[in-house]
Structure 1
Amino acid sequence: MHPCQHVAEAILALPADRVRRVAIDGVDGAGKTHFADALGTELSGRGAHVIRASADGFLNPPRTRHRRGRDSPEGYYRDSFDYGRMCRLLLDPLSPGGNGEYIRAVYDVHREREVRLLPELAPDDAILIVDGIFTHRDELIRYWDYSVWLEVPFDVSVPRGASRGYGDPNPAAPKNRRYIEGQRLYMAECHPQTRAKLVLDNTNLTNPTPIPRESRAQT
């Protein structure tokens, strides 16, 4: 069974009397969007109402993202996202006790500008799938009913990310220090490999492999 099918079955087994909230996490270039889209397709094919969102829809503008310096790893980890609005506009409305009226994005990073989307109303049994870095942070961990960490070494993830037209494919390039060291800060502080319900070795995009809990890295 492909891991997407396994994850879909695990999510569908969760109580359907409220929105089920799922996070797909991993370093830049780990394959989060690819996996989340495939999972959404799998769930939709089984009759589920899927809401797809990305943490990138809640990025801060450059003046906030780069306030510690454009090359700062700590700035990358601590200042990239507006978690207040992400929780208030997306996650809280789709949580138990929420009104189900959510906004899936407030920022377009490609155009570096705010976007104004109309609120949408989620069915009670919808499934929210959010892909994004840092989604096992303390501010977000309580929201997820199921989460996945995609384990990929930097010597694979960095060239993979660069192949999409962003950044230098060399992990040792100075411009990559911000991203690699920022991710290491996150892993050391939040241990997403142990917080996630499922960890997959996603070095091979076409063949993700589960990593047993006892084999997961601690940092």
Structure 2
Amino acid sequence: MSHHLHASPRRTLRTLVLLVCAALFATVGLTGTASGHGSTVTPVSRNYGCWLRWGNDFQNPSMQQQDPMCWQAWQTDTNAMWNWNGLYREGVAGNHQAAIPNGQLCSAGRTQDGRYRAMDAVGDWKATSLSRTFTINLLDQARHGADYIRVYITRQGYNAGTPLSWSSLELVQSTGRYAPAGNYYVNNVNAGSRTGRHIVYTIWQASHLDQSYYFCSDVTF
């Protein structure tokens, strides 16, 4: 601890600069342009989960061992993590499978010049434990409303060591419209007889314009 007690003025200034930068990043992440969007918070999406767990400690090297998939995501694009609520595409016109190639489902087809490309990385993402009947909670910070929410789950036998493809998914629920609100709930999502590790893939079609959000949530049934 003595090296902290006798830090040089240069080191002290560098520490202060890092703290100010972290505070500015946090402000952008919470109140900037991305705050007009949202994510699934239950089961937690990859992007929201990485921000939730490490947003206040994103420079901690322990993340590399404790949460390696989030570590690679933070290292790939820090701004993507602060903008966890901006993972969307515009102008898809409902043709989701045409717009999002296989292997790029979790990044919305490398949307926004590939900002969220780390979401497609294959590995041991932190998973939420779920019962076979569960509820999705989707946060809509700007109250855009929803034309619909579609919920897919990977088929039984899905190999988590391979990139996610449309053929790996089964549509299990599709909703009607939601009036603008802060949260939307998709109740009684049924995973059937699935067991083990899976991905819940949620598409939120916002109502304010043709803006489609895509969320990968790693789960264990």
The answer to whether TM tops 0.5 is: no
Larger radius of gyration: 2
Larger RCO, structure (CA 8 Å, separation 6 or more): 1
Write 1 or 2 for the structure with the bigger share of strand. Answer: 2
The normalised TM-score by structure 2 is 0.31
